Structure 1
Amino acid sequence: MAATKALDFYLPDELNASHPPEKRGLRRDHVRMMVLDRSMGDVRHDCFFHLADYLESGDLVILNNSRTIPAVLYAEWYRNTVQLAPKVEIRLARRRGEDTWDALVVASPVMTGDSLHLSPELSATVLGEKENSPLKLIQFSKKGADLFNIIYALGEPVRYEYIEQPWDLDFYQTVFASHPGSVEMPSAGRAFSWELLFNLKRNDIQVDYIRLHTGLSYLLDDQWIQTPEENEEEYHISDGTMARIIETKAAGKRVIAVGTTVVRALETAAKNGALSGMTNLYINQHYPLKIADGIITGLHEPKASHLDMLSAFVSEHHLLKAYGQAIDTGYLWHEFGDMNLIL
């Protein structure tokens, strides 16, 4: 299902954040924050470090602790023993097993049986193709932690056209990231610092973590637009975290999801009862949210499916009006940009 046409708007190029806040002279927790009231549509403007001022004692903030991997790799491309290209780009899309990944191999036409030599220690074989998709299933010669170690040594972060220069992987990590697997940074958590997390706890605001490994969102060709239903992502919620969620809601307090990834994981678990697995849940204005009472997120580009999800929290009218204010007052978009709290 395509993103709602109503959620289209003009975003000036200069509002695409091309530099991390730290390179703009800001601490990561001092980006701007637009606070949007779900029911009335009222908007306030503040600094993200003041987040605790908008939450209440007993509220529960849920973060995604997936760690970003450097998912862009380069390899020599072989068919049988013949080298077809000395350097092709591979973009990992999502993990399928200990040694298998869906990947975008930027070379045409890559065929089943072709081999990709990434380094003396690592190679991969193309096992097959995905229907109606440019993605291939590839199997690496290493698996588990050994594979991740080499990927971290060889790879670089996924970078889109509004990021004008390469930044080190550290800029694409949240401070609390602990489980490698996200192809793109779960960026809503980027603005949190340890000081801010401590400040929340000091105000009796609970903090807990789930895990959802983000997939590759853009396949480098507008011919291939992935719908949320096609973008399967792996998630895990612990028994203890779910127990805290249930206790929080039973006490009449709010569960605040940090990012669309957290909403997707929580609402999948509420829908199917499974605390771990794969999700392709699509959430829009018609979806009845069961767990998330609010969301902390970045600012999303025109027609993005993430905007559909936000319309489950707040009306499209209020959302577009708030986005208009954000544009007029110079908020910055994307993973290095400013934040939006919807409560």
Structure 2
Amino acid sequence: MAAVKTLDFYLPDNLNASHPPEKRGIRRDHVRMMVLDRRSGAVSHDHFFHLNHYLEPGDLVILNNSRTIPAVFQAEWLRGPALIAPKIEVRLARRRHDETWEALIVAAPVKIKDRLTFSTGLSATVVSEKQNSPLRVIQFSKKGPDLFNSIYELGEPVRYEYIRHPWSLDYYQTVFASHPGSVEMPSAGRAFSWELLFKLKQQGIGVDFIQLHTGLSYLLDDQWHQKPEENVEEYHIPEQTMERILKTKAAGKKVIAVGTTVVRTLETAARNGILSGMTNLYVHRDFPLKIADGILTGFHEPRASHLDMLSSFITEPHLLHAYEQAIEAGYLWHEFGDMNLII
């Protein structure tokens, strides 16, 4: 396969949404929405709470109900009895097992057997390194629900440089989030309100859920740029959800994936026939989509691999032209920004 070139464009700083919509004085489902026609590339402008105008009875909307965890911690760093540093930052990257996680430890290189103390009740030991990666595997002193309880008690949400205020974890959740595990919010679902979900169902538009627990996307150093195929994430599709998806497809109706995480999950299952597991699927312009007929997503930054995925729905010239229009019209980017429906 030929290398896929990611799209590049200039994004003005003032279009990086630094505040949640609620802090800008609007409801979460009243953000703007740019609608793209997959075939013609035609662009129209609307608001997200009119999503039902673009769908038909029998269509099926698939959402990711993974719940965002607070994945950034402060810890003491110890080597044997010696205190190396009283306070370093630790970012969880992805869960391996009940008590082991890959983590980014923002400090001088830690060694295997080094210890991290988060509180009197929670510590972790560095058990292995990842090749060609700054990530380390750490084993916590707790596991399962006890570990998640401590994570929620001690951690803070991942925030990138365009977020200038420490918004609480509540702002990084979708209204339907129920399965803890995402290091970064599956943000395409953030704009949904219960009222909008109810309105879709009233019109005969189906709503169902999968889980994909998102990993840490940025390793704080451009030296460690992750390739899409190196981004391994845990997913699960309930059997009854897949049955409903297949019935929708068989009836000639559309399956709309809410977010790149949902596309990745559905297309992984279509390719390997497995409803639960790990995926490193890279969806790009030459990828033959088998399930997703449309995508609802936010706006992605220049050269992001997510743009490669959007190129599997719509041609790159159409996508670039639409993004130029979005910039000119002042749409807002990132998890607190506006929405883009490609259908």
How does the TM-score come out when normalised to structure 1? Answer: 0.99
Q: Does residue 200 of the first structure (1) align with residue 200 of the second (2)? A: yes
1:1-343 residue pairs with structure 2 within 5 A? 4-5=4-5, 7-343=7-343
Structure 1 156/3 Cα, relative in aligned 2: closer, same or farther at 3 Å?
farther
Contact 1:2 1:305 in 2 (8 A): no
Instruction: Give the C-alpha shift of residue 165 in structure 1.
Output: 1.2
1-side partners of 2:121 and 2:3: how far apart? 42
Percent of aligned pairs with the same residue? 75
Output the CA distance in 2 between the equivalents of 1:105 and 1:124: 12
How far the C-alpha of 1:2 sits from its partner, in A, is 11
Matching residue's letter, 1:326: A
Structure 2 letter corresponding to 1:203 = Q
Residue deviations 1:49-95, cap 9 Å, x none? 00000000000000000000000011000000100000010000000
Superposition deviation, residue 5 in structure 1:
4.0
Residue type of the alignment partner of 2:271:
K
After TM superposition, give the deviation of residue 4 of structure 1 in Å: 4.6
- Three-state SS of the structure 2 residue aligned to 1:308 is helix
Displacement of 1:6 after TM fit? 5.3
CA shift, 1:227, in A, is 1.0
Structure 2 gaps of 5+ residues are none
Distance in 2, Cα, partners of 1:220 & 1:148? 25
Query: In the alignment, is the contact (CA less than 8 A) between 2:6 and 2:307 conserved in 1?
Result: no
Number of aligned pairs? 343
Where 1:313 maps in the other structure, the secondary structure is: coil
User: Which string of whole-angstrom CA distances, capped at 9 and with x for unpartnered residues, describes residues 264-303 of structure 1?
Assistant: 0000000000000000000100000000000000000000
Aligned in 2, Cα 1:6/1:143: closer, same or farther, shift over 3 Å? closer
- CA deviations over 1:243-277 (Å, ceiling 9, x no partner): 00000000000000000000000000000000000
Task: For 2:341 and 2:190, locate their aligned partners in 1 and report how far apart those are by CA, in whole Å.
Answer: 14
Contact 2:4/2:284 (<8 A) preserved: no
